[in-house]
Every structure is written in C-alpha cells, then in structure tokens.
Structure 1
C-alpha cells in the first residue's frame, strides 16, 4: 500500500482565521454593548417620567375628592335639602384579586338578605373608570362598619368611606319641587365630565336637583397619598381641595307650601301660587307626594312597585305636567280677546235662554244653569260663569283668533324658566287638528274650546302663569323657582320672555277685573261664600272640567257617578286687585266644586299671615274655607 500524503499546517492561514473570528466576535460584542447602552439611555432618559410614575404608583396614588353638594333653602332661609354624614362601602375592582370571592365574602360578613344580593353584585360590576371606586352600599350601620373593620385584612380593594349624603327634611311636601338625587347610572356616567365627577356617586335626577345640577355639584379636588403593599393609605402627601357646590335659594315659601298641601287634605290635585311682579313661584304643590329620601340611597323594588301601581299616581307632578281641561277659568282671557278683536263691547247684552245654537244646527249647547241667566253683559257673564255668552264670543272669534288670544297668555306653551319637566298643555287650532287627525275643524269644537273643554288642555302652572299675566295688565314675567344661586340673585327680565299682551283700551282690563271681583263678592257670584270673609279685593274665576262627555239630553249628576268620573274643580285668582301680590291656580280632581275656599285661604295666608295657621289641622282649615262654586 502506498501511504497518503500528509497536509502541512499553514500558520499564516490559521492566524488569518483567528483574526477574522476575533474581529467578528469583537464586532458582535460592540453591537451588543451599543444596544445595551442605547436601551439604558432610552429607559433612563426618554422613559424616565413613565417609570418614575410607575414606581411612585407602587407606593403613591391620586384619589379624587368629591365636592360638598350645595344646599337648598326656601325664600326665608329654611333648609329644604341638606347633607348628612354617612359611611358608604366602595370597591376598586382593579385592586381586587378575585372579585367573585370578595363579593361572596362581603355578603357573608354583612349578612345581606337574599333580595339584596343580586343588586349588590350588579353594583360591583357597573361600568366605572379605571381605579375609580364603585359604590356597593350606602348609609352603613355601626354594626356593619364594625364587621368590615374586623375583616379588613381579607378585603383588598374594599373601603368604608365617610361621605355626605343628601337628606330632605320635608320629603313628601317638597317632593315634586325639589326632586331628588340618585346613583349615577351607566348612561349618565358616559356623558359626565370624568374629572369633575371623579369620586361622585350621586347626581340630580329630577326637579331642582336636576335643573341646577351644575351649580349644586361644585368642582372635584384631588389628593396624593402614600400606600403600603396592600394599598392601605399611610399618609397624605399633597391636596388640591374641592370647591363646594353653590347653595340655591328658592322662591318657594315653605309655610305656604305646607299649607297648600294640607288644604288638599289627601285629595288628588295641585296648587300653584306666583308673585305677579317678579314671577317668583311661592308654592307649587302636587298631591299626593312621595318620600324622596327613599330614592337617594336606592329605593327597594317593592317600594317602587308600590308607588308605580298606586292608583293616585304619587310620582306624577300634577302641578307642572298634569294636563286638564281648564273649564270656565279661561273665560276672562277669552273676554279680553273678544274686546280686542271688537266682537263685543263691555255693555253689550246677550240673552241667554239656557242654551246656544249654531246657525242652521238643531243641536243645543247648554249653559250650566239649565233655565239660563236671561240678559247678561260681559261683567255678569264672568260673575255667573254664563256659558251661552262665551259660546257666542267663541263663535264670533273663531278658533284661529281664539287660539291666538290664548297663546298670548301662554296656553299651549312652556313659559317657565326652570321648572323641570313642565308640559305645554294644548291650545287647539285648525292647523293642529289637520296635522294630528287629518280632519277639518268644526264650529262646535270652537264652542267647546270657548269654555275650556274639548281638545283644550292646560296645566295648573300655566293657569297660574296666565293669571299672573292678567294681574299685571298683560306684562309678562316668566315664572321661576330659583331666587338666588350662591350670592347671585335670579331676577327678571329673563331671556325668551313672551311679549306683553297689548290691549287698545286699558279700561278693558278693569272691566274684566270687575267681573272677576263679582265672582267672590257679587250677589250671583259662583264663589260668593268663599269671598264673604275677605278683607281685601280679590279677582277670581271658578271652573269645572268634565272627565267624560255628556250626551245631548243628558244631565250631570255627581251623586250617580263613581268618584273618579266626577268633574274636576278649578279656581284661579289674584289679590289685591289694586296691587297684586299673589296669583294662583287650584285644581282638585273629581271634586265637582267647592274649591274656591282653598284659593282664598292661600291668598289670606300670603297677604295676612297668622302664626296659628301652621298649627291649624287641615280638616279645620277645609271647614272654614269651603266655598260654593256654581260652575
């Protein structure tokens, strides 16, 4: 065999390979060093603030400081809505390891009844902003606070917070005026300023609480605190204090409000009183009311269902949203329209045989007094509330001009400045019926509108507002509930105020006033018993509103009807006639009549206040003021 040739090593080649490998290794080391240094520079320089913040967040956090909600007072400084200290249970989901287990532990610790457990769990999952506490329970008892304190080590992310809770000293009488605050829901949370409402669990839902939410709420503050590993606060580092909400002073007179509610004496109805010169709403009562304190912390399902199913509708604000046929209370306004359009003169005589007939129509539109009032002029027509006279006026005016006149006094419109949820009522017209029903307007419907029936609907607030405008000789002042916001007075003139009602002859106002005065002090006045004891001149008008329509030859007999089918009773008035200080409207559902005394009692209480009024039982008041309403 021949031996293979051995390869001779090349030292020069090995040295070159070593140098190349060393160069590559050095280059890799250099690149890695550059990458490491670059990363260090990036983290230490460019991301310095981020990591400092993360580091601080491990031991420090920023907590919102909700502002104190502004208080609400009546015009005399009586407190209507206050804040009481209470303890609430909150949870921050991001700080809880196992939410379900924590909730189950809380249910056991607090020994919650079964019907509250579902609500408790739902609140814990209500959408919140990151690291914002969700409100689980309000107004904890001392026993509950003690149980939570003992088990605090088991409840990471759960806190008992001392906060101020809304409380209403007169929750039923003031229910529809004040409204109430309640828990912020998901829809409201999406629309609220996240910074200003951080840490706030309640918001105005209805009434004044809703209308003036931005003023009452204030501005949220912040505090920076140091915490331990479990998230418990060790000390406060910095604080930006919150700005408390502004106090709101209302135009409401609490004494008058209470008296009006007592006068209704459990009946369904509303009373609204306004100061004509300023538009201040002195009283705005809707009965029955309801306990608004139950809504603050969250009303129970059973209690809310009871309110909803109550046949008397306590949640319904009759004063601002109750739309009723105004009945004969519209006759003074119609009379002014008839004078302005020249379809009648104050001394013109119309003969009333007890009914009115349209030309070429056999149907009779009856006066409330079946045998009629005979010869009536404008003043007597108002005094005795003669339907035939106002059927004639409505026919002569026509629905277009009648509707225009009523709109001048605010019927069919929302004219209040800050009454939440107020409805416009309905002043019908030819165009309205065509759009609503695609039907023509008939002359008989004009006659019904002329005595405040048919399609014509008005709220008690509208009636009081129109009466205040009438008392002012047509000068418009928008009714309002706020008298002061903080230290800033709320005074007219207000934007969007309707133009004043103009009459070509100022004497016409006095002609209508004289007829309205005779309602109370005339020999035939429909409220003469209620006006017998008055020590000043008051102008008024009574009215009844049918709940259902009568046939051509049917006669109304209240004794034969169920209570809820009887006519509503209405009253409007202002006093003193020479210098009006109060204008008011009263409606009592299904009363039939006899409510004029309620109106004169309210007027007396405002113009001639007596200390004993507050202690006089409602039944005694009603016995003293019961009047006789002929229409």
Structure 2
C-alpha cells in the first residue's frame, strides 16, 4: 500500500514538473513570438531603415561659396582648390609622435602646430582636422609614398577662400572662419542644419556674415553602398551641390582703394553714399588688415598684433566708431530751427567771439560780427549756434535729429552698427546712476548746438543725414548689396530696396540750408580746397574735441599727445545742384577740418565726377596734411589697373567713369579715437572751441 502511495506521489510531482517546464517553454515561446511581432511589425520601418544605412552611406557634397564683386564686377572674394594634410585624432594613438614623424616628410612649422592645437580644442574627437594647407605637389607625392605608416592621416582637396585685394575694404567684405561650437549649436537648432552638413566654415564678419545664406549655396549628396568594413562599393544616387550666388556690392573698389591710399597711416573713416538711392559707394575704416590672415585660422602672433595695437585696426570705425560731429552738425541745427520756428533765415545774432550763460563763458575762435543763418553756417559761427541750442532745448533737438538718423541704427545690411548717443533728458536719467548725474543742467545744452557735449555719432549716420539733405529731404536706407548673380544661369538680379521716405520738410527751409552749405566751398572754410573745381559742391568742415579744454585754456596741439588732439571732419555732396554723391569723413587727431579731411573729399569728387585719380605727389601731400587743391597731373581713373580679375556678367550694368575734362554734371549710371560704447563725458561747458 505504501508503495502505491509513493508511486502516486512521484507521478504527481512529475506531472507538476512537466507543467512547470511546459509553462516556462510556453512563456519563453510567447516572449519570442512577441519579440518577433515587435521586430517584424511594430518596428519594421525603423529597423529596415537602420539595416539600409548599415550598407549605405550618405556623403554631403559641400557647395562652392559664391563670389563677392564690386559694382563694376571686380572680384573681392573668391575660391581656390588646394591640398591639405589632415589628421583624425580618434584613429591616432600618439598625436604628438605622429606629427613629429610627419614633419620629416612635410614641413610643419610651430605656427602650424599652434593652429592645429587650437582646432583640436574647438572640435570633436572624430573630426578630420588640417595641420597643413596648400601642400605642393612634391609634398603630396612624398606623403603618398609613406602613407601606409600613418593611420588616421590623409590628404584632402579643399576649397579655400581668398581675397585678391588683401586689405582693401576689409571691414566691409569681412572674412570666413571655421565653425565653432556655439555656431554649430545654433545651426543645428535652425532650419539650415541639413544644408550645413559637411560645411566647416561660415561667414564671421561683414558681407561674408550678413549674406551667409546667399553665398553658401545648397549642399548636395552622394549615396554610396558600403562593405562591412565601411569601404565604398558603388554609388547608388546623388544630387549635385548648387554653388552659392555671387553678390554684387554698390561699392566702387577703385574709389575705396584710392581713399585708403589718401589716408595712409592715419586713422579715420569715410562713408560715401549715392543720395538718390542709398547705395554705399565707399566705406573706409583706417587702419585696416589683411583678410587672408583669417582664411586658414589666424595665428596667435598676428591676432595679438591686430588686437593689441593702439590704432585698433580691427575696429570698423565707419560703423562702430562714434565721434562728436563738431561743426558738421550746424546745418542740421539750422534746418531744425527753421522747421520748429525757432529762427528765421533773416534773424541776426551778434557774434563777438564768445557768449556767456549762467556765469560760464562759451568761447569761439574769433568774432564774426552780426550774422544771419546763412552767414552763421558759412563762417561757422559758434556763438550763433550756442544761442540757438539754448533756445531750442535738448529735447527739441533730440526729437528733430532722431528721424534724420542721428543716434539710430540706419539699417545698413552689414551687422555691427552702434547707435552712438543722441542726448535727451530721458537718456541721461536712464544712463547715469547717481541722482546728481541724472539731472540735466541748462549749461549742458549749449555745447550740443556745435556738435560737442554728449553728441556722439557714427560716420555712417553723419553721411546718411548729409545724403538726406542732398536729396532735398528724401531719406533712403543705406545698403551695400545691390544684386545677386545666379550660380547656374549667371544672370544678374537686382535686390529689392525699400522706397525713399520724404521727411516732410518745407522746401524753402531745405533750400536755405543747401544754399548755405554750397557757399561754404565758395566763400567759407572750404573755399581753398575746392578752388578751380569745374563742378559745384556743398559741404561743412568740422573740428571735434577728443578731450575737453578748460574755460581759461586755449587749445594747443603741440602740448597734447597725438591721441588727445582734435579730430578733423568734413561732410559734403556734389554736384551742388543735382547731387550724385554725399559723404562724411573723419581723420582722427588731425586738427581743423579744412586741413586734413576736406582735401580727401575733393579727391573723391574729382574721381566720381571727373574720372580723375590723384597723382603720386598729390597723394603724398594729402597724407601729410600739406595739401589743399590737387597738385601734379591727375591720372585717368579708368587707367588704374586693379590687382584682381573682373567678371563681365550678363545683365550687370557697367559703370564707366567720365574722362577727365568731361562735364562734371553728367549723370552716373546708378545701380537699380573712436568707439564710445559707454556714456561719453561732455566737453567742458566753458571750453574754447574754434570755429572751423
């Protein structure tokens, strides 16, 4: 009986074990079936795509960057192909040892090593990085013979940007540079992420930066079948890259280079605009720098030289340098007085050489006797404008000058503009911290009338305002880009521009001021500069203080260091009756406006209206500040050869300069110590400030 019970118990235990095993098998089979369903049904598309990518690779094809051309088709930026020696860190066990071995085959300088180290610090481990560029064919051959010794090292053909004119218009053209981590993150978060696959460089400054999307082009791709080892077997498909469009600027690079020659080693800025449409014809900032230094990544020594120089060559003085406008502000003050009813053109003011207000004496260079508005502008009477500023008040001046563009962003199509300072009581309250600093004092208003005090503007703003006056009160937005050349069709297409804005000034008021600034070049402070010119022009000289001078002191340049001396300014337009060019310029620490700045303006007008390029002796005289009217035999501007190729593109209007001696009023074909970022300190209310 006991045996039967033991057998039954054993069978029961066996059946239980069988059931458990069967349940485990069923469960395992169910999991397997469930996993198969997930793989074959739920995740079919995703896994199929992954499988496809395991045997295919999509390689981006980086497009050629578009060229940058001046208004006559002269090439300002282009590309060339060269071989580079590149290293991939993740495939190289000992980076330093490998570089040492490579230097026996290919020259690798300490500068190359420093640049490579900087690239390593800014890049990912798997990226291929160049340690040498522009390899010669002999160097390529030497490395190719020993290539088996260097895993992770390769020769690649890359496109490089080049700037044929080197330092000409460098602040305008800008440069490209390797994409840093911050820029990469911005690109990855943008709609252009796919278009920048494989792209190593991006525009960093100037036109290269502002028109990056147009110049970059459309990235192409190749789909390749690969082996298990990752080697390409065959091409499955492709789409060619579309080169970037070439950009045509309003800039006349020959005029730009001439102005840069006239400045020489002096510091300053000049902006010339076509008042009829806002096209920027020249935008000079001196000193400048060679754009090609940045193509491969600038070395530490060159960067230190540029960044630490007292002359600040990296500063775009035309956009970011702010200066008191000096007496060049007076015509706009006069226009404001007429528009606001604070003066009539016939109102007489007695100029005895100084004016006393609130116990302070505001001095001038010399007495001019009784002056009306016309004579006050022609003779640059400080006393007249001291009194006018007091009558108008700071807020009325601010409200009139703001629409003219003073202290405002003009909207130029190059990034980096600063506002400068157009003072008002509200501005002072918002700018300063201590209660006594926030208060506006009546004496602070006086110097504003002659362009001193808190006034600080860019040369772009001053030239923009002068262009508006030249165009009888119609304001156009300044711009550099005027057209694009399609990369495929090579057809020129004009870029759209906003319509001009009529400022609503009364015509008789505008004409009164225009007559006065035209008289400056005939009987005023600029008469010697424009003597003998076969065209009419209008202008205003200016001298702006770099440092304040006390009430009882007289300005003496010989007692000041170079960087403390007055700035020389001039603004003008020509021809006076029907202007086609307006400009404003400054020569830093160079003294009276008629001495240093005015002669440069005369040569600009001679070029634009007469087709004349100054003689070598005249250029030397202007550089030294020893010239008024031109000397020597001027050259034909059309005969000055530019050291760069020109592109003759279908649909791009050609501009031919007039021959010397041609009518100066003939029309031109038109294409359809500087930065003050912190609040400036006003010049002494009682400073001696000369009439210009």
TM-score by length of 2: 0.81
Residue 135 (1) aligns with residue 135 (2): no
Residue 114 of structure 2 contacts residue 299 of structure 2 at CA under 8 Å; is this kept in 1? Answer: no
Deviation at 1:47, TM superposition (A): 5.4
Bigger Cα displacement from structure 2, 223-232 vs 331-340: 223-232
Shift of 1:232: 4.4
Q: Aligned partners of 1:222 and 1:380: how far apart in 2?
A: 70
SS of alignment partner, residue 529 of structure 1: coil
| Structure-1 residue corresponding to 2:672 | none
Q: Is 165-174 or 438-447 further displaced after alignment?
A: 438-447
What is the match of residue 446 of structure 2?
447
Asked if structure 1 preserves the Cα contact closer than 8 Å seen for 2:547 and 2:564, the reply is: yes
Q: Deviations over 1:127-172 (max 9, x none)?
A: 54x97x4433462413553454344445555543322111111221
CA offsets 1:329-366 (integer angstroms, 9 cap, x no match): 000000011112222211222111111122xx332211
Check the 8 A contact 1:249/1:482 in 2, yes or no.
yes
- Map residues 229-268 of structure 1 onto 2, 5 A cutoff: 231-268=230-267
1:79 alignment partner in structure 2: 75
* Counterparts in 2 of 1:122 and 1:383: CA distance versus 1, 3 Å: closer
The 1:407/1:34 distance shift into structure 2, 3 A limit, reads closer
Shift of 1:11: 9.7
1:185: Cα distance to partner? 0.4
Query: Does the 8 A contact of 2:327 with 2:451 survive in 1?
Result: yes
Q: What is the deviation of 1:614?
A: 8.8
Distance 1:232 1:149, change over 3 A: farther
Which region of structure 1 is more displaced relative to structure 2, 426-435 or 108-117?
108-117
Distance 2:340 2:44 in 1: 82
Alignment partner, residue 186 of structure 1:
181
Is it true that 1:299 corresponds to 2:295 in the alignment? no
User: Post-superposition shift, 1:44?
Assistant: 5.6
Contact 2:364 2:691 (C-alpha < 8 Å) held by counterparts: no
What does residue 552 of structure 2 align with? 553
CA contact (8 A) 1:269 1:587 kept: yes
Partners of 2:78 and 2:572 in 1: CA distance = 34
Deviates more, 1:235-244 or 1:257-266: 235-244
Q: Given that residues 269 and 318 in structure 1 are in contact (C-alpha distance below 8 angstroms), is that contact kept between their aligned partners in structure 2?
A: yes
Counterpart of 1:68? 64
Let me know the Cα RMSD of the aligned residues.
Answer: 3.1
Give distance in 2, aligned partners of 1:435 and 1:46: 63
Equivalenced residue count is 611
Q: What's 2:527 paired with?
A: 528
Map 1:313-352 → 2, pairs under 5 A: 313-352=312-351
CA offsets 1:51-78 (integer angstroms, 9 cap, x no match):
6555555553211111221111111111
Secondary structure at the counterpart of residue 269 of structure 2: strand
Separation in structure 2 between the aligned mates of residue 492 and residue 115 of structure 1, nearest angstrom: 45
Q: Does 1:368 align with 2:365?
A: yes
Deviations 1:68-116 (A, max 9, x none): 21111111111111011123445566xx45x443564245314644564
1:467-486 equivalence runs, <5 A? 467-486=466-485
Residues 492-534 of structure 1: per-residue CA shift (max 9 Å, x gap): 325xx7x533334x22222212211121111xx1111111021
Q: How far apart, in 1, do the equivalents of 2:11 and 2:425 lie?
A: 112
- If you compute each CA radius of gyration, which structure gives the higher value, 1 or 2? 1
Once residues 227 and 472 of structure 1 are traced to their aligned partners in structure 2, the CA distance between those partners, rounded to angstroms, is 65
Instruction: Name the CA distance, whole Å, in 2 between partners of 1:291 and 1:250.
Output: 20
Shift of 1:179: 1.0
Assess, with a 3 A threshold, how the Cα gap between structure 1 residues 396 and 122 changes in structure 2: closer, same or farther.
closer
How does 1:5-44 map onto structure 2 within 5 Å?
43=39
* In 2: Cα distance, 1:461 partner to 1:32 partner: 79
Offset, 1:453? 0.6
Q: Give the Cα–Cα distance (whole angstroms) in 2 for the partners of residues 347 and 264 of structure 1.
A: 40
TM-score by length of 1: 0.88
Distance 1:228-1:87 versus aligned 2 partners, 3 A rule: farther
1:207-261 Cα deviation digits (max 9, x unpaired):
1111111221122222122445654445433212222222211110111111111
CA contact (8 A) 1:103 1:121 kept: no
Q: Is the 8 A contact 2:171 2:285 kept in 1?
A: yes
Gaps of 5+ in 1: none
